Amino acid sequence: METTTWMVTLIKELVLLGDSIIDNKTYVLDGEMSVLEHIQSKTDTKTVQLALDGATTDDVLDNQLNNISSEASHIVLSVGGNDLLNEIGFLMEDFKYTPNQVLERCYSLIAPISKKYESIVTTLQTSKIRANLLLCTVYEGDLEGSVMYDDIAISSRTMLSLFNDSVYKTHNMFKTGILELRNIFTNKEDYANPIEPSHQGGEKLAEKLVGWVNATG
């Protein structure tokens, strides 16, 4: 009696959530590739981009989460940078605070963003969609020497570190994957402008994301 062996092929679907760290098409030059295009050139995995330039944690909570397919096998979350940009004006103020007051102010600005970030991950991890989840930290950008951000190029790293600490805390809480973007975007050429990924930076990010998808099955 012959035995029939059935081969089951798992079809992967990669969903990209977040902001212009992923949705950088507007910022690359003509003929260059966006993060999404780099991913599509490196894998046959179906890739759905819900990430949107300018998006904040509120946008992910209110819109992007609602559009995730039940077929999603892998989800990447890269958000928080625009929330921080909305608060970074604090560092440009002419103020006379003590160091302790400055740190307290930084914490009070970051805490609500971190809470919303945790809510995003909680929603993803408690939904019926059983997908692998990768959290991305926020990179430091190429602020030094820029007209708009040079004065806060160093001080902004304090606020950034506070937020990234919450990303790591959430990662540890839910045992997700994590990708440290500060270790990927290490050269000036990785940025198209002070805060957006270039063709080169996008390719480096895409390689990491495709590698993660392949490694997690």
Q: What angle do CA 42, 43, 48 make, to 5 degrees?
A: 110
How do 13-18 and 46-49 pair as beta strands?
parallel
Residues of the chain above pLDDT 90, percent:
75
For the entire predicted model, the pTM comes to 0.92
Over residues 17-44, mean pLDDT: 97
pLDDT for position 99: 76
Paired with 192 in beta bridges are none
pLDDT band at 174 (very low <50, low <70, confident <90, very high): very high
Over residues 165-186, mean pLDDT: 98
What separation in angstroms does the CA of 149 have from each of 88, 134, 152, 154, 155? 10, 29, 6, 10, 10
pLDDT band at 93 (very low <50, low <70, confident <90, very high): confident
Mean model confidence pLDDT for the chain = 91
Structural domains in the chain, CATH included, are 13-211 (3.40.50.1110)
SS3 176: coil
**pLDDT above 50: residue 171:** yes
Over residues 89-109, mean pLDDT: 80
- Structure tokens given for 190: 């990785």
**What are 110-159's pLDDT values in tens digits?**
999 999 999 999 999 999 888 999 999 999 999 888 888 888 788 888 88
d(CA 106, CA 108): 6
Least confident window among 17-21, 88-92, 167-171 = 88-92
**pLDDT above 60: residue 1:** no
Nearest of 107, 106, 123, 136 to residue 16 by alpha carbon: 136
d(CA 11, CA 148): 45
Over residues 36-47, mean pLDDT: 97
Over residues 182-192, mean pLDDT: 97
Over residues 163-179, mean pLDDT: 98
